[in-house]
Amino acid sequence: MDEVETGREPTSPNGREPTLSKERPPTSPKGQEPTLSDVARRAGVSVATASRALSVRGPASASARHRVLTAARELDYVPNPVARALATRSGTRIAVAVGGRTSHVLNDPYVARVTTATAAAAGGVGVSLHWLPLHDPAELGRLAENRDLGGVIVVNPTVPALATIPRSARGRIASIGIGTRDVPSFDVDNATGTTKVIEHLLATGRRRIAMITGPQWLPCTERALTAYHRALADAGTPPRLVAGDFTAATGESATTEIMTRWPDTDAIFALGDLSALGALSALRRNGVDVPGDVAVAGFDDIAYAALSHPGLTTTTNPVEAITTAAATALLHHQPTPPQTFYPTTLILRAST
Amino acid sequence: MDEVETGREPTSPNGREPTLSKERPPTSPKGQEPTLSDVARRAGVSVATASRALSVRGPASASARHRVLTAARELDYVPNPVARALATRSGTRIAVAVGGRTSHVLNDPYVARVTTATAAAAGGVGVSLHWLPLHDPAELGRLAENRDLGGVIVVNPTVPALATIPRSARGRIASIGIGTRDVPSFDVDNATGTTKVIEHLLATGRRRIAMITGPQWLPCTERALTAYHRALADAGTPPRLVAGDFTAATGESATTEIMTRWPDTDAIFALGDLSALGALSALRRNGVDVPGDVAVAGFDDIAYAALSHPGLTTTTNPVEAITTAAATALLHHQPTPPQTFYPTTLILRAST
DNA sequence: CTGTTAGCGCTTTCAC
DNA sequence: GTGAAAGCGCTAACAG
**Strand D footprint nucleotides (protein C-beta < 7 Å):** 1-5, 7-13
In chain A, which residues have their Cβ closer than 8 Å to the Cβ of B96? 119
Please report which confidence band the pLDDT of residue B130 belongs to, taking 50, 70 and 90 as the band edges: confident
Is residue A272 within 8 Å of A214, Cβ to Cβ? yes
All domains of chain A, ordered by start, with CATH? 3-79 (1.10.260.40), 89-188+320-342 (3.40.50.2300), 190-318 (3.40.50.2300)
Task: Report CB contact under 8 Å: B103, A8.
Answer: yes
Chain A, window 238-297: residues with a beta carbon less than 8 angstroms from a chain B beta carbon: 247-249, 274, 277-278, 280-281, 284
List the single protein residue with the shortest CA to C1' distance from C13: B48
Taking CB atoms and an 8 Å limit, are B95 and A13 in contact across chains? yes
The rounded percent of chain B whose pLDDT value lies above 90 is 58
pLDDT value at position A171? 79
Taking all residues of chain B, what is their mean pLDDT, rounded to a whole number?
Answer: 85
Task: Write out pLDDT tens, residues B88-127.
Answer: 877 777 889 999 998 888 878 888 889 888 877 765 567 7
CA-CA distance, B143 to B133, in Å (whole number)?
Answer: 12
Percent of chain B scored above 70 by pLDDT?
88
Residues engaging strand D (CB under 7 angstroms): A 32-33, 35-37, 47-48, 51, 54-55, 77, 79-80, 83-84, 86-88; B 44-49, 52, 59-61, 63-65, 86-87, 89
Distance of CA A168 to the CA centre of its chain: 23
What pLDDT, in 10s, does the model give residues B34-63?
A: 899 999 999 999 999 999 898 777 788 888
* Predicted local distance difference test score (pLDDT) of residue B313: 98
Higher pLDDT, B87 or B275: B275
pLDDT value at residue B245 = 93
Residues of chain B contacting residue A96, judged by C-beta atoms under 8 Å apart? 119
Cβ–Cβ < 8 Å for B129, B107: no
Task: Return the closest nucleotide (C1') to the Cα of B88.
Answer: C11
Distance CA B345, CA B136 (A): 36
Element spanning A69, H or E: helix A62-75
Q: What is the pLDDT of residues B191-202, one digit of tens each?
A: 999 999 999 999
Q: What pLDDT, on a 0 to 100 scale, did the predictor assign at position B148?
A: 67
Kindly report the pTM of this predicted structure.
0.77
Pick out chain A residues at pLDDT < 50: 1-31
Q: Is the dihedral of CA A285, A289, A295, A297 positive or negative?
A: positive
**Whole-number pLDDT of residue B18:** 28
A82 touching chain B per CB within 8 A: yes
By C-alpha to C1' distance, D8 is nearest to B87
- pLDDT greater at residue B269 or residue A30: B269
A173 close to B (CB below 8 A)? no
Hey, which residues 183-242 in chain B have their CB within 8 Å of chain A?
none
Q: Residue B108: list chain A partners with CB under 8 A.
A: 1
- Check B126 against A129: CB less than 8 A apart: no
Average pLDDT rounded to a whole number, residues B258-283: 97
- What per-residue confidence (pLDDT) applies to A333? 67
Supply the pLDDT for residue A264: 97
Tell me if A107 and B309 make a contact (CB, 8 A cut-off): no
The CA distances from residue A211 to A190, A247, A269, A271, in Å, are 14, 14, 5, 8
Cβ-nearest to A126 among B2, B19, B93? B93
- The per-residue pLDDT for range B248-263, each reduced to its tens digit, is 999 999 999 999 999 9
| Residue A209: per-residue pLDDT | 98
Residues found in chain B: 352
- Looking at CA atoms only, how far is residue B311 from chain A in angstroms? 10
pLDDT of residue A30: 41
* pLDDT score for B77: 86
pLDDT at B147: 64
What pLDDT, on the 0 to 100 scale, is given for residue A334? 67
The nucleotide whose C1' lies nearest the CA of A40 is: C3
Q: Which of B18-22, B171-175, B302-306 has the lowest average pLDDT?
A: B18-22
Is strand C in 7 Å reach of the CB of A347? no
Nucleotide nearest to A60 (CA to C1'): C1
CA to C1' distance (Å), from B54 to D5 = 20
pLDDT recorded at residue B24: 35
| Per-residue buried b or exposed e for A165-183, using 16+ beta carbons within 10 Å of the residue's own CB | beeebebbbbbbbbbbebb
- On the 0-12 / 13-18 / 19+ scale of CB atoms within 10 A, B205 is exposed
* Nearest CA-CA distance, residue B67 and chain A, Å: 27
Residue B124 contacts A where some CB pair is shorter than 8 Å: yes
Specify whether the CB–CB gap between A308 and A277 falls below 8 A. Answer: yes
